[in-house]
Amino acid sequence: MTTETHNIESCNTIETLRTQFSEDPRREPHEKETGLHVEGEGTHFSVTSFKKVVYAKLLQRDEFNITHLHVLDDDGREHTVDCIEKAAEQSLTIIGVTGRLPVAAVNIGTPRNDNSHADLVK
């Protein structure tokens, strides 16, 4: 399978999973955070987000490589899976994501007019 075919299939899987995207009902609003971390001269940010509006957009980015998804099973237990396909197969509720994003894909620029998280990832 070519990288292009894999990306198309992943995008299709992500689109079908949108109904499984949620925010963890057990976390308080201040616990639903997004973090970017880069060490030294690193070439990639490590990104973790529990904000649905942010992780949904990250998952759409070709540059974003999933390390694991934070999910809830049917019994409400939280655990992780390492790929989108496993979440789809098991009909798990996705509540967060951890992955890698190239430093070149991140631009910290002009201030926005509001504090909404929706525009963090374009």
Residue-level pLDDT at 117: 63
Question: At CA 83, angle to CA 94 and CA 73, rounded to 5?
Answer: 35
pLDDT of residue 39: 84
Residue 120 domain flag: no
Instruction: Kindly state whether residue 59 falls inside one of the protein's structural domains.
Output: yes
Identify the residue whose tokens are 């075919």: 5
The reported pLDDT for the residue numbered 54 is 93
pLDDT of 84 above 70? yes
Indicate the DSSP class of residue 1: -
Most confident stretch, 17-26, 97-106, 108-117? 97-106
The yes-or-no verdict on residue 82 having pLDDT over 80 is: yes
Cα separation, 31 vs 46, in Å, equals: 18
Domain count, the chain: 1
Looking at the predicted structure, is the pLDDT value of residue 11 above 70? no
pTM, 2 dp: 0.79
- List of residues 6+ apart from 81 with CB closer than 8 A: 68, 69, 71, 87, 90, 92
Comparing 102 with 16, which gets the higher pLDDT? 102
| Domain assignment present for 55 | yes
117 occurs within a structural domain = no
Asked whether residue 118 is domain-assigned, the answer is no
Instruction: Select the more confidently predicted residue: 116 or 27.
Output: 27
Q: Which domain holds residue 89?
A: 3-106
Residue 21 is given by DSSP the state B
Instruction: State the residue for tokens 């987000």.
Output: 49
Residue 119 lies in a domain: no
